[in-house]
Amino acid sequence: MAAVQVGGGDNLNESKSTSKISECNGKKKTDNGKMGGNQNGYVNSEHKSNGVDSAADMEAPAPWMDWAQLDIFPGSFEKCSLLTAALTHAGLYLLMFLGFVNQLLFTPKVATERNRVGYAPLYNPFEQFYSRYVYRRVRHIFNRPICSTPGAELTLKERATDDYNWSFRFTGAEKRCINLGSYNYLGFAAPEGECADAAEAAARRYGLALASSRAELGSTPLHQELEETTAKFLGVEAAVVFGMGFATNALGIPGLLGAGTLVLSDENNHASLILGLRLARVAVRVFAHNDMRQLERLARDAIAERRWDRIVVVVEGVYSMEGSIVPLPALVALKKKYGLLLYLDEAHSVGAMGARGRGVVDHWGVAPGDVDVLMGTFTKSFGAAGGYIAGAARLVDAVRARGHAHAYAHAMAPAVCAQVLAAMRAIAAPAGELRVRRLRDNTRHFRRRLRAMGVVVFGHEDSPVVPMLVYTFSKMAATVERLTARGVATVGVGFPATPLNKARIRFCLSAAHSRAQLDRCLDAVQQVVDELGLRYARAV
Amino acid sequence: MILLDIVDTASWWTIVIAVQVVIGCAYFLCTRKSKKHEDKLTKKMLLEWKPKPLVEEEIFVPQPQLMGKIDEGMLNVGCTSFLGFDKEPQIMERAIKSLHKYGVGSCGPRGFYGTIDVHLELEERLAKFLQVEETCVYSYGFSTIASAIPAYAKKGDIIFADEKVWFAIQKGIDASRSTVVYFKHNNMKDLERKLEMAAFQKDLNPQRRAFLIAEAIYYNTGTMCPLRKLVELARRYKLRIILDESLSIGTLGEHGRGLTEFLGVPRDEIDLIVGSLEHSFASIGGFCAGSHFIVEHQRLSGLGYCFSASLPPMLTEAAIAGLDILEAKPHLIAELNLVANKLQCAFSGLNYFTVSGDDLSPIKHLYPRDVVMPYETKMEFLHNIEKYCLHRGIAVAVTSYIKDAEKNCPEPSLRIAASTKLNDAHIDELCDILERAYLHCRS
């Protein structure tokens, strides 16, 4: 079609220079030029529809998903009012401005690089400015040292600063707080009890570490047992375990995904997933958090491009900063319709979600086989360390053979293995299911009461991660300080872990919390909400 | 007149700029509109869409030998517990005591109540031991250097690295997305040539961060790096040095402070020292050491530090206990060096293997002589030797590399680790069995 038009154009040019032949030729061509496009197009389509009837049907757009039939609720994400947003930004700029003035007037009390004159600056100046003058002001609420088990309660080592958070010193005092900050969802972080005893026995039996990688001399029967138990626990064929949760994603994904793969990744995916995808060198497209409609559009576009061997959707079960749960049944329906593959990171959900503690798969009642790759960590619900990748046997073999951790990283410590095994067995026992139920009840109770206070809470009803929005940086710090003073240890999260104007307090619930402890926390939260004016919810 | 001219030209430029802005805005708005989703997917395309499975072919994974405790029922010369700390009862007791105080897991990253007092103690003790301002402890050896490199090196920076660096460094370089120049293994002439070339082509300039990455003792070859020369070149061309001392801390120098102590290189010449707790200390984890200015940055920017749960307290306590022993018994290092030297002597007398490794290096690589085989067959051959040795009560490690992922995959070899537990009889037996294994597997 285009070629005819171009040809027509050429002739038209020629007709100007030549005289005679051009008359008829030119006329013909101008006709073509005027309506050639339409005509040609028309003829073409006519020609095609003349072939087989269903061929025309084949050119029709493929039907879309019928989302009305499925639950695609992305989690509650109430928007803040314009005023709040403006004030938050203004507050941040004010902080930065004051920092700027500060920087002009005083030399910062920080170490500088020695003997590196003439070298390119090691750090990005803005980053440095941010960490010195914005982050430093709230530095005391992060990295707080503890000196006890991170169980239902923890003991904080109190720190004080004499120079506006440039440096800290220990006061020697300790403070017992209710722990709403650690990922101890099922309460298996305990210094005594079955799990700790199993860990001790394993350490004595196999030593503290193997000083070798799994593929060399670092495999013990304990590792094998853990892999078999994990696979059985999740209801899949096989599993492989790693010594560090972060490394599970960062080093495991490159073993699975490679050239020809397109990854559709949720915008709130964890840093380890992003790093893993980067190391795997796959093409990545990002969709808005839990937005199934956009995911469908991206998938359709990608299929229409006809250049991908496979399309993999990478999502998390429970998002640790948003408190939302992935709408898995909708995702599985989408995956089946378009032939996508699914990589599910259950770091925060395995153990903590579902009636039997098997993660979001269990929570939504999806068959484990419908998810291609199940990944999770042992750091959270199991009170240990490390992670696993589970799925079909062939896939797990690929992670062993091509993933980086199995060949190069040292094997998981035997004591950690034993702790996971004991915790996993405990979850499968009736008492374990009681723990899971207690966590769910605690979560619902806590979320209900928080909402009744009129604060903005993100995420799903059942997610044990409960983010309470405070928007501004300073309020985040003030809230954490005041809650600590009232005996509640919790976590504030701000930029860069969240968007600039969406600082939040994150509560992590645990089955180890008693109702009385939670109510004490909620009373403390209520007081702080009253004091700082954190009722941002528009409708209670 | 001049003023008028300026106004004139200025206004003329204003118009041009204004027109450009208008065109730019119009273009931006138009493209935005046309960006509105246009669905191209037809039924036919959907029918023709045949996605390939995640893993297409059958993959054979060799089943590793299941081990017990290190040296249980056999002599283990494959594991890298050089100082025999895996057998120290006091380390075990302190770790168990710690387990019954803190539980196993720390249940959180360092930022969010995962900082337990033992972590701070270990960092302080390590800093004092290495005579640096600050250290930070990671929860996994592999992730330590793999996170440390991208914390400093970013896109647009340039890295000079030895071609034989171990896999974690390669991945760290990958993650940083910097330009990387590999120089020939321990070849300072080649490095100098490449630096000169880069300086000439303005690839090295005062606006561009440049790094030099090397290992004190190379995991893949067992050789020691010529640190003095590296430092000299780095200072001349203004490169910052990241040195992986995973294998040298606890094995070199009078007190076991690593290659810097051994060669007498001032520690502040090295910008960042990366160490491991998984070899000499026989625990899990790793650490970075250096000046406050350098190390503190990782607490916000080291991905594996910020986004990972912290090291289990019992393993942290084990590392502290190991440090106590190392400080109390510095003669362990001399003992280890002696064993390493003896091993080197014994191995260089082998008929059927060539050895790679420095005299004092605790890691030796043995390559079978006269074996011309493709990679896979060679691996199989080595695994057969491993099996033969295992059968006779000696565990040696066959290096496991992922051939397709390595930058330039090293020759397969047997990796033998020196350790204080080895005596002359062990070494003789080891050599004897290796020779016999070779003959057995060759026939």
Smallest Cβ distance to B104: which of A206, A377, A415?
Answer: A415
* Cβ–Cβ gap B79/A206 under 8 Å: no
Residues A365 and A296 in one domain: yes
Smallest Cβ distance to B315: which of A149, A208, A210?
Answer: A208
Q: How far is CA A388 from the centre of its chain?
A: 16
Give the residue from A394, A428, A462 where a domain finishes: A428
Q: Domain for residue A62, yes or no?
A: no
- Point out which residues pair with A493 in neighbouring strands: A504
Residue A313's alpha-carbon distances to A95, A371, B398, in angstroms, are 39, 10, 37
Residues A165 and A241 in one domain: no
Smallest Cβ distance to A209: which of B101, B171, B283?
Answer: B283
Expressed as residue numbers, the domain containing A243 is 194-428
Give the per-residue pLDDT at A67: 87
A420: CB partners within 8 A, 6+ apart: A226, A230, A241, A378, A382, A384, A386
| Least reliable range by pLDDT among A116-120, A193-197, A331-335 | A116-120
* Cβ–Cβ gap A246/B140 under 8 Å: yes
Residues A267 and A355 in one domain: yes
Q: How close A15 gets to chain B, by Cα (Å)?
A: 35
CA end-to-end distance (rounded Å), chain A = 61
Residues A107 and A199 in one domain: no
**Secondary structure element (H or E) that encloses residue B101, with its range:** helix B89-102
pLDDT less than 50: residues of chain B: 1, 3
Residue A346 CA to residue A319 CA, distance in Å, equals 9
A500: CB partners within 8 A, 6+ apart: A88, A89, A92
List the domain boundaries for chain B: 75-85+330-442, 89-328
Interface test with A, best of B100, B113, B316 (most A CBs within 10 A): B113
Which is nearest to B70 in space by CA: A224, A407, A201, A220?
A: A220
- What values do phi and psi take at A341, rounded to 5? -110, 155
Q: Which residues of B touch A202 (CB under 8 A)?
A: none
Give the per-residue pLDDT at A37: 39
A7: CB partners within 8 A, 6+ apart: none
Q: Domain for residue A117, yes or no?
A: no
Smallest Cβ distance to B282: which of A211, A245, A272?
Answer: A211
Residue A407: strand, helix, or coil:
helix
Total count of residues recorded for chain A: 540
Q: Domain for residue A147, yes or no?
A: yes
Q: How close B37 gets to chain A, by Cα (Å)?
A: 8
CA closest to A381 among chain B residues? B107
* Cβ–Cβ gap A416/B105 under 8 Å: yes
CA closest to B319 among chain A residues? A208
* Cβ–Cβ gap B104/A195 under 8 Å: yes
Smallest Cβ distance to A217: which of B76, B268, B314?
Answer: B76
Give the per-residue pLDDT at A539: 65
Smallest Cβ distance to B95: which of A208, A310, A402?
Answer: A208
Model confidence band, residue A19 (pLDDT cutoffs 50, 70, 90): very low
Give the residue from A428, A443, A477 where a domain finishes: A428
Class of domain B75-85+330-442: alpha beta
Give the residue from A380, A401, A428 where a domain finishes: A428
| Least reliable range by pLDDT among A3-17, A70-84, A357-371, B95-109 | A3-17
The per-residue pLDDT for range A199-247, each reduced to its tens digit, is 999 999 999 999 999 999 999 999 999 999 999 999 999 999 999 999 9
Domain containing A511 — which CATH number? 3.90.1150.10
Q: Domain for residue A371, yes or no?
A: yes
Smallest Cβ distance to A146: which of B113, B308, B399?
Answer: B113
Give the per-residue pLDDT at B29: 73
Q: Which residues of A touch B279 (CB under 8 A)?
A: 211
Give the per-residue pLDDT at B371: 80
Residue A172 CA to residue A169 CA, distance in Å, equals 9
Model confidence band, residue A133 (pLDDT cutoffs 50, 70, 90): confident
Give the per-residue pLDDT at B40: 82
CA closest to B145 among chain A residues? A409
* Cβ–Cβ gap A394/B141 under 8 Å: no
Residues A86 and A233 in one domain: no
* Cβ–Cβ gap B51/A397 under 8 Å: no
Q: Regarding predicted confidence, which is higher, B134 or A21?
A: B134
CA closest to A186 among chain B residues? B107
Q: Domain for residue A450, yes or no?
A: yes
Q: Domain for residue A537, yes or no?
A: no
Residues A345 and A418 in one domain: yes
Residue B325 CA to residue B332 CA, distance in Å, equals 9
Q: How close B13 gets to chain A, by Cα (Å)?
A: 33
Residues A102 and A163 in one domain: yes
Which is nearest to B148 in space by CA: B239, B267, B279, B273?
A: B273
Residue A480 CA to residue A491 CA, distance in Å, equals 7
* Cβ–Cβ gap B95/A297 under 8 Å: no
Residues A339 and A259 in one domain: yes
Q: Domain for residue A402, yes or no?
A: yes
Domain containing A409 — which CATH number? 3.40.640.10
Residues A182 and A203 in one domain: no
A140: CB partners within 8 A, 6+ apart: A159, A161, A165, A168, A477, A481
Q: Which residues of A touch B117 (CB under 8 A)?
A: 145-147, 157
Residues A398 and A290 in one domain: yes
Model confidence band, residue A187 (pLDDT cutoffs 50, 70, 90): very high
Model confidence band, residue A324 (pLDDT cutoffs 50, 70, 90): very high
Q: How close B5 gets to chain A, by Cα (Å)?
A: 39
* Cβ–Cβ gap A254/B405 under 8 Å: yes
Q: Which residues of A touch B48 (CB under 8 A)?
A: 306
Q: Which residues of A touch B304 (CB under 8 A)?
A: 244, 246-247, 250
Smallest Cβ distance to A407: which of B108, B174, B401?
Answer: B401
CA closest to B43 among chain A residues? A62
Give the per-residue pLDDT at A68: 87
**Secondary structure element (H or E) that encloses residue B415, with its range:** strand B414-417
Q: Domain for residue A144, yes or no?
A: yes
Q: How close A156 gets to chain B, by Cα (Å)?
A: 9
Q: Is the ipTM of this complex over 0.85?
A: yes
Number of domains in chain A: 2
**Secondary structure element (H or E) that encloses residue B45, with its range:** helix B43-48
Residues A406 and A347 in one domain: yes
Interface test with A, best of B38, B46, B54, B244 (most A CBs within 10 A): B54
Give the per-residue pLDDT at A51: 44
* Cβ–Cβ gap A211/B102 under 8 Å: no
Give the per-residue pLDDT at A228: 96
* Cβ–Cβ gap B49/A338 under 8 Å: yes
CATH pick for B89-328 out of 3.40.50.300, 3.30.70.1900, 3.50.50.60, 3.40.640.10: 3.40.640.10
Q: Regarding predicted confidence, which is higher, A519 or A69?
A: A519
Q: By the 8 A CB rule, do B153 and B176 touch?
A: yes
Interface test with B, best of A119, A129, A146, A212 (most B CBs within 10 A): A212
Q: How close A225 gets to chain B, by Cα (Å)?
A: 11
The per-residue pLDDT for range B4-48, each reduced to its tens digit, is 555 555 566 667 777 888 888 777 776 665 556 778 888 888 888
Residues A326 and A232 in one domain: yes
